[in-house]
């Protein structure tokens, strides 16, 4: 069974690796549009942030690189893996496919906003007990998605499996992920 500490270590390691060159390209400014900055007034985990972003920045870019909330992960950056899942007004979205400018007044929940090391969210607790992760990179997105799947009314194993199909785990922990969610759902 991975400990809570192991989960944290995995996350830190991968967070470090993830801040690579790719994002620098997003930030580069085309000479044709050197000036435009978009004013944002977003609320993340209950805290309001006034900031500016490039017109091309995704919500994921802003959460990770401006607000430094690196629990939300960049996986495929194409909406296919679910690692970037956050809640906007309680609804799950792929934050890599959301232009920050479009969500400039959004109320956002990330993994940092759902529990603490001392008071885990029930899904975080269940994921640990069910060994529902190995490297942990997809786990924040899995848990945010699972919160939404339960809120959307999934009440069977099949509905959980279908509801979680937008979250991929390359370590292959899907069976235990479903078991953890099912336990919290009371199944």
Partner 1 sequence: MSSASFNYVRATELTDALSQGKRPGAAYLAGGTDLLQLWKASLTAPQDVIDISRLPLADITRAGDRLVIGAMARLSDVAAHPEVKAGHPLICDAILASASGQVRNLATAGGNLLQRTRCPYFSDAGLACNKRDPGSGCGARDGENRHAVLFGGSSGCVATHASDLAVALAALDAEIAISSASGERQLALSDLYPLPGETTAPDSSLRPGEMITAIRIVGAERFAPHSTYLKIRDRASFEFAVVSVAAALRIEDGVIAEARLAAGGVASLPWRLGRSEAALIGRAPTEQAFAAAGELAIEGARPLEGNAFKIPLLRNAVIRALQTAGDQS
Residues forming the site for partner 1 (CB under 8 A): 22, 25-26, 28-30, 32-33, 36, 38, 54-56, 58, 77-80, 82, 85, 88, 91-94, 96-99, 101-102, 145, 148-149, 152, 161-163, 165-167
CB-nearer residue toward partner 1: 74 or 121: 74
Structure token pair of residue 116: 């603490």
CB-nearer residue toward partner 1: 27 or 116: 27
Q: How far is the CB of 35 from partner 1 (least distance, A)?
A: 10
Please give the helix or strand (H or E) that residue 48 lies within, else none.
strand 47-53
Report which DSSP code applies to 29: P
Residue 45, exposed/middle/buried by CB under 10 A (0-12, 13-18, 19+)? Answer: middle
CB-nearer residue toward partner 1: 150 or 182: 150
Q: How far is the CB of 61 from partner 1 (least distance, A)?
A: 10
CB-nearer residue toward partner 1: 128 or 147: 147
Of residues 58, 101, 74, 57, the one with CA closest to residue 15:
74
Q: How far is the CB of 92 from partner 1 (least distance, A)?
A: 5
> Are 95 and 72 spatial neighbours (Cβ–Cβ below 8 Å)?
yes
Q: How far is the CB of 81 from partner 1 (least distance, A)?
A: 10
Of residues 125, 138, 140, 1, the one with CA closest to residue 69:
140
């Amino acid at each position: 069974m991975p400990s809570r500490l192991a989960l944290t270590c995995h996350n830190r390691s991968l967070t470090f690796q993830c801040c690579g060159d790719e994002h620098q390209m997003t930030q580069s400014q085309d000479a044709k549009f050197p000036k435009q900055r978009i004013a944002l007034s977003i609320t993340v985990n209950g805290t309001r942030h006034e900031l500016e972003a490039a017109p091309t920045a995704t919500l994921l870019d802003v959460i990770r690189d401006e607000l430094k909330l690196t629990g939300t992960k960049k996986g495929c950056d194409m909406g296919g893996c679910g690692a970037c899942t956050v809640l906007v007004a309680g609804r799950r979205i792929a934050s890599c496919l959301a232009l920050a400018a479009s969500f400039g007044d959004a109320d956002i929940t990330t993994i940092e906003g759902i529990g603490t090391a001392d008071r885990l969210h029930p899904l975080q607790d269940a994921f640990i007990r069910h060994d529902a992760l190995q490297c942990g990179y997809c786990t924040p997105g899995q848990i945010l998605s699972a919160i939404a799947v339960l809120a959307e009314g999934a009440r069977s194993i099949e509905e959980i499996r279908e509801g979680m199909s937008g979250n991929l785990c390359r370590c292959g922990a899907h069976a235990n992920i479903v078991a953890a969610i099912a336990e919290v759902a009371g199944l």
